[in-house]
Structure 1
Amino acid sequence: MKSIIACCILLSCVFKTQAAGFQTREMTGPAGKPIKLAIWYPSATPPQARNTGTFIQQVASDGEVAGTGLPLVIISHGTGGSQYSHYDTALALADAGFIVVAPIHPGDNYADRSEAANILERPRHIIATLDYLLREWPQRAQIAPSRIGIFGFSSGGFTALVNIGGQPDLRKVGVHCAAHPAEYACQLVARHGDDSKQVPHAATPQMHDRRIRAAVIVAPALGFTFDNAALAKVDVPVQLWRAEDDIVLPHPWYAEHVRAALPRMPEYHVVPRAGHLDFLAPCTAQLAALVPQICVSQDGFDRGDFHKRFNADVVGFFHRSL
């Protein structure tokens, strides 16, 4: 009994002194475009407050990476988002011993949405980011290449599905939007007009990155473009999330469609009273003042409280799967 108590005390001390390390990097992506990265990881370096302008995180900026053989999770944000859209989930993963990298998707982010309709460029960004982390990142030796997962939200969920072997048929977008023109995805296509007609209609086999061994798919965009044949090659564990009151990507054409088409049953979560944007990190006062539209939840829904459970479930899934 004494040895058990001593072990618990020791572990408590270790967990209290460990913090999330944090780095920013920039790499060259497909077509020579720069891609900014945010990287979180376990670190024994003491944390300090770091202000990004819209939130403050307690991290060890450029601290040493603690541990070896660490699992890696890559995060793909949604349309108009950023590398910080899911920073709280990234911090939870780093605190649990994961390295986390979040690229900002060129041409489909908060500052530049000029290529938002070209959704099949996004999986290439993910592949290029993993190449960088595994081949060029100074701390690459501490990554376990066989323990890589992906987290994707909205357009990032679509991205993740392609990266784990999905083969969407984007010709279905026109048919769907003719019947549902008011949906967000259809309005996005309409705004881009002729630009969207130049977008490839199918993923290529090269977009399937077999280094990825597990996926968390959150409110996936264009779920209706994946049928059973399109997802037949997906052979990794999937955790799938849907917001019950998602009016951006409404039921049953998105997450539910993906759930039915996956070759094996995913771990499926439907969040009562949640809206689409409730999967984004809880808003600070600064962020709510800048973009209040992404910070509004239904009466009675506490985004902060939900994210405690959400992040714990995401961490648990990756621990079991990687």
Structure 2
Amino acid sequence: MKPHLWLAGFVAFASVGTAQAANVGFETASAPVPGDKPLALTIWYPTDAPERPMPLSLYSQLVAPGAAPSGHGHPLVVISHGTGGSNADHFDTARALAAAGFVVAAPTHTGDTLGDRSRSLRLTERPAQLSRVIDYMTRDWRGHDAVDAGKVGAFGFSSGGFTVLGAIGGEHDMSQVARHCAEHPHFYDCNLGRQPGVGPSPATPETVAHDPRIKAAVVAAPALGFAFAPSGLSKVSVPVQLWRAEWDTVLPQPYYAEAVHALLPKAEYHVVPAAEHFDFMAPCTPALAKVAPQICVDNIDRAAFHRTFNAAVVRFFEKTLRS
């Protein structure tokens, strides 16, 4: 697919999806992690129960809180948020997937939240956390009987994109970070370690936990894309949908999404015209704009874009996990 040709056909698809949409159940949970803090989870899933508005962090969503899951054999999609984010950051995408018949689980990554940045530089820990979420959702979650453990997908944004690429077989070379930052000291990732509360990088290189249960991945504005060159993505064999914001000033090209695309030329690739980095997060509310105005500056109509974006993500997982 050519980068800018991503709108055609989505309106028809979205209307079909809406006609078949289920109600969406919602709950929070905690996934134990041996030797570490438990992972806080938000979970969306198909249900027959009626929906009502409820708050979620600084957002509001229409869901059926605590309702029983309906049906069986639903594919599972796990979501990995960006640096300093939370499990609410992509709630609208998660809800769109659940309405289309997927179970969705989003963890808040330990030590990489707005209130705790102590492990923001320890990105290589994150893929193992995604694996723990998959374990929990397919074995321990109260609705695990509704999940098809053989149909698992992953969605990741920014640092979450790096997380997902590692989980599906990517092998990074973190020694490239020093060279990259010597050449681009003003870039966001090169200044992250100097932000208040951000802990140090790991003293020794860390391996990444790959998870062969993940059969398809959506990666939006991935961090540290350059660290996978020249052959770090050669073992990735699952379908990938890759997204780039055309005017990404947080992770400017060609070092991030473009670098990943060069290594995964067969990925379904979308460049969003005039979009900025944070446009892949849920549309901002006034309350969020007061707390984090930097992520709410839009060059595009983010709400309109997300109707198209969410439909594309649903379409991709329908094709790769239901066939």
Work out whether the TM-score is over 0.5.
yes
What's the TM-score once normalised by structure 1's chain length?
Answer: 0.91
Whether 1:157 and 2:161 are equivalent positions in the alignment is yes
Q: Which residue of 2 aligns with 1:297?
A: 298
Q: Which residue of 1 aligns with 2:131?
A: 127
Matching of residues 97-116 of structure 1 within 5 Å: 97-116=101-120
Q: Which residue of 1 aligns with 2:232?
A: 230
Q: Following the alignment from structure 1 to structure 2, what is the Cα–Cα distance between the partners of residues 194 and 72?
A: 32
Q: Across the two proteins, how many residue pairs are aligned to each other?
A: 306
Q: Which residue of 2 aligns with 1:21?
A: 25
Whether 1:31 and 2:35 are equivalent positions in the alignment is yes
Matching of residues 220-259 of structure 1 within 5 Å: 220-259=222-261
Q: Following the alignment from structure 1 to structure 2, what is the Cα–Cα distance between the partners of residues 91 and 71?
A: 14
Flag structure 1 segments of 5+ consecutive residues without an equivalent.
1-10
Secondary structure of the structure 2 residue equivalent to 1:167: coil
Offset at 1:290? 2.1
Q: Following the alignment from structure 1 to structure 2, what is the Cα–Cα distance between the partners of residues 241 and 12?
A: 22
Q: Following the alignment from structure 2 to structure 1, what is the Cα–Cα distance between the partners of residues 198 and 115?
A: 22
Of residues 74-83 and 30-39 in structure 1, the stretch that sits farther from structure 2 once superposed is 30-39
Partner deviation per Cα, 1:261-316 (whole Å, 9 max, x = no partner):
12x51000000100001111001122122222211112xx1000000000000000
Secondary structure of the structure 2 residue equivalent to 1:283: coil
Name segments (4+ residues, structure 1) moved above 6 Å.
11-14
Offset at 1:30? 4.6
Secondary structure of the structure 2 residue equivalent to 1:100: strand
Q: Following the alignment from structure 2 to structure 1, what is the Cα–Cα distance between the partners of residues 125 and 311?
A: 31
Q: Following the alignment from structure 2 to structure 1, what is the Cα–Cα distance between the partners of residues 52 and 198?
A: 48
Q: Which residue of 1 aligns with 2:268?
A: 267
Secondary structure of the structure 1 residue equivalent to 2:61: strand
User: Residue 171 of structure 2 is aligned with which of 167, 172, 188?
Assistant: 167
Contact persistence 1:162–1:203 (CA under 8 A): no
Partner deviation per Cα, 1:226-263 (whole Å, 9 max, x = no partner):
0242111100000000000001000000001001112x
Q: Following the alignment from structure 1 to structure 2, what is the Cα–Cα distance between the partners of residues 114 and 195?
A: 4
Offset at 1:25? 0.4
Contact persistence 2:154–2:164 (CA under 8 A): yes
Change (3 A) 1:63 1:254: same
Percent of aligned pairs with the same residue? 49
Whether 1:57 and 2:61 are equivalent positions in the alignment is yes
Of residues 155-164 and 51-60 in structure 1, the stretch that sits farther from structure 2 once superposed is 51-60
The structure that is helix-richer by fraction is 1
Contact persistence 1:243–1:273 (CA under 8 A): yes
Alpha-carbon RMSD across the aligned residues, in angstroms, is 2.0
Q: Following the alignment from structure 2 to structure 1, what is the Cα–Cα distance between the partners of residues 57 and 275?
A: 27
Contact persistence 1:249–1:276 (CA under 8 A): yes
Whether 1:84 and 2:88 are equivalent positions in the alignment is yes
User: Residue 143 of structure 1 is aligned with which of 147, 152, 162?
Assistant: 147
Q: Following the alignment from structure 1 to structure 2, what is the Cα–Cα distance between the partners of residues 230 and 53?
A: 36
Of residues 134-143 and 27-36 in structure 1, the stretch that sits farther from structure 2 once superposed is 27-36
Secondary structure of the structure 2 residue equivalent to 1:32: coil
